[in-house]
């Protein structure tokens, strides 16, 4: 395990966080939860039919003694949860509808977080991103001043750490969206000891090409500086001008970044998704995430192709976000 996660383990262990896992019958979830709980790093809350959860754990030989098990259908405070959910949805659902909706583990788990009975949620091993994000947006909602949530990856290779965004949520962000993503990604980077130097990426460097796409990025830089005047940010950049000092000297000699960016904001979801997968598969980086940012409380989304180790690490990150 890289130093990043060893540090997170130490940081999280002293805080006694409770993280809810809606997919309590998935083997990968159970293995990660058992490891986290047995080591005393955090308290996992596993959702699902108790008999099925325990049977699956027995079949794969994992100990759930240190985990909490909750069956939504038998939850003692279900009536109260229904009332709070109806109030939160401001008349968009009836109590009868709410009872059906809250039997969905993702909605139920998100409500546990909203009711402060859990500190964060990790889902997505068997559910789509939409299934994880929709309840979070409806219940937990975005922080004041933030219009949209976004998804970042922490890219780790030995001692190197970089932040890539948005690689998970916003298909075609406008200038305002990109500015928000930049400011939030810088804050996320700080959680992982990345002192943010933010590059707004494009296919152009400082006007080497002009189009609506490049002007969108130029405007985003301006808006991000207005949101946070202390932010070290520049663009628009091609990746090499943002990352390689010798190239930066030629293409952007006056830039404050000098080719030393460590937070990279992609102009579209397709660019971000392709970019992080290239770094992962060709560059040998570990891609941790997507980490959802901009929400009032932490909810994070796994890939359906995740391993138990991915679950373990994203749970550590979620607990750190809950600080």
Bridge partners (DSSP) listed for residue 200:
235, 265
Tens of pLDDT, residues 197-238: 999 999 999 989 999 999 999 999 999 999 999 999 998 999
Above pLDDT 90, what percent of the chain? 84
Mean pLDDT of 16-34: 96
d(C-alpha 42, C-alpha 75), whole Å: 22
Asked if residue 159 has pLDDT above 80, the reply is yes
For 71, 74, 108, 246, 294, the CA distances from 123, given in Å and listed in that order, are 16, 21, 12, 42, 17
Q: Does residue 320 sit in helix, strand or coil? A: helix
Full set of structural domains in the chain with CATH = 3-141+296-321 (3.40.50.10950), 150-281 (3.40.50.10750)
pLDDT at 128: 87
Asked if residue 173 has pLDDT above 80, the reply is yes
pLDDT at 2: 62
Mean pLDDT of 268-274: 96
Asked if residue 1 has pLDDT above 60, the reply is no
d(C-alpha 315, C-alpha 44), whole Å: 9
d(C-alpha 210, C-alpha 212), whole Å: 7
pLDDT at 14: 84
Asked if residue 242 has pLDDT above 70, the reply is yes
Tens of pLDDT, residues 289-298: 889 999 999 9
Contacts of 229 (CB under 8 A, 6+ apart): none
Contacts of 226 (CB under 8 A, 6+ apart): 179
pLDDT at 45: 98
pLDDT at 289: 80
> Of 150, 163, 253, nearest to 200 (Cα)?
163
Apex CA 259: angle with CA 256 and CA 263, to 5°?
A: 85
Mean pLDDT of 241-256: 95
Asked if residue 67 has pLDDT above 70, the reply is yes
Asked if residue 3 has pLDDT above 80, the reply is no
Provide the angle, in degrees to the nearest 10, between the axes of the packed helices 308-321 and 27-38: 50
pLDDT at 305: 84
d(C-alpha 21, C-alpha 44), whole Å: 7
pLDDT at 81: 97
The overall average pLDDT reported for the chain is: 94
Higher confidence at residue 223 or residue 128? 223
């Amino acid at each position: 395990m890289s130093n990043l996660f060893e540090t997170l383990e130490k940081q999280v262990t002293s805080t006694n966080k409770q993280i809810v896992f809606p997919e309590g019958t998935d083997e990968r979830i159970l293995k990660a939860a058992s490891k986290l709980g047995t080591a005393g790093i955090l308290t996992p809350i596993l959702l699902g039919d108790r008999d099925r959860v325990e049977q699956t754990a027995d079949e794969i030989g994992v100990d759930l003694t240190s985990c909490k098990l909750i069956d939504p259908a038998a939850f003692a405070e279900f009536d109260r949860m229904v009332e709070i959910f109806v109030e939160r949805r401001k008349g968009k659902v009836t109590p009868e509808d709410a009872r059906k909706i809250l039997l969905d583990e993702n909605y139920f788990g998100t409500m546990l977080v909203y009711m402060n009975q859990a500190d964060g949620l990790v889902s997505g091993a068997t559910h789509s991103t939409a299934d994880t994000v929709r309840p979070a947006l409806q219940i937990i909602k975005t922080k004041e001043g933030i219009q949209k949530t976004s998804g970042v990856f922490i890219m780790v290779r030995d001692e190197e750490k970089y932040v890539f965004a948005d690689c998970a949520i916003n298909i075609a962000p406008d200038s305002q969206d990109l500015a928000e993503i930049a400011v939030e990604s810088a804050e996320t980077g700080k959680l992982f000891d990345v002192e943010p130097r933010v590059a707004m990426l494009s296919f152009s460097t400082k006007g080497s090409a002009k189009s609506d796409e490049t002007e969108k990025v130029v405007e985003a830089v301006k808006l991000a500086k207005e949101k946070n005047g202390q932010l070290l940010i520049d663009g628009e950049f091609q990746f090499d001008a943002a990352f390689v000092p010798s190239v930066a000297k030629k293409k952007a000699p006056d830039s404050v970044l000098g080719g030393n960016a460590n937070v990279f904001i992609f102009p579209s979801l397709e660019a971000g998704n392709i970019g992080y997968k290239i770094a992962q598969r060709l560059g040998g980086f570990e891609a941790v995430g997507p980490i959802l940012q901009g929400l009032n409380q932490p909810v994070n989304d796994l890939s359906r192709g995740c391993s138990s180790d991915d679950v373990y690490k994203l749970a550590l990150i979620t607990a750190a976000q809950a600080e």
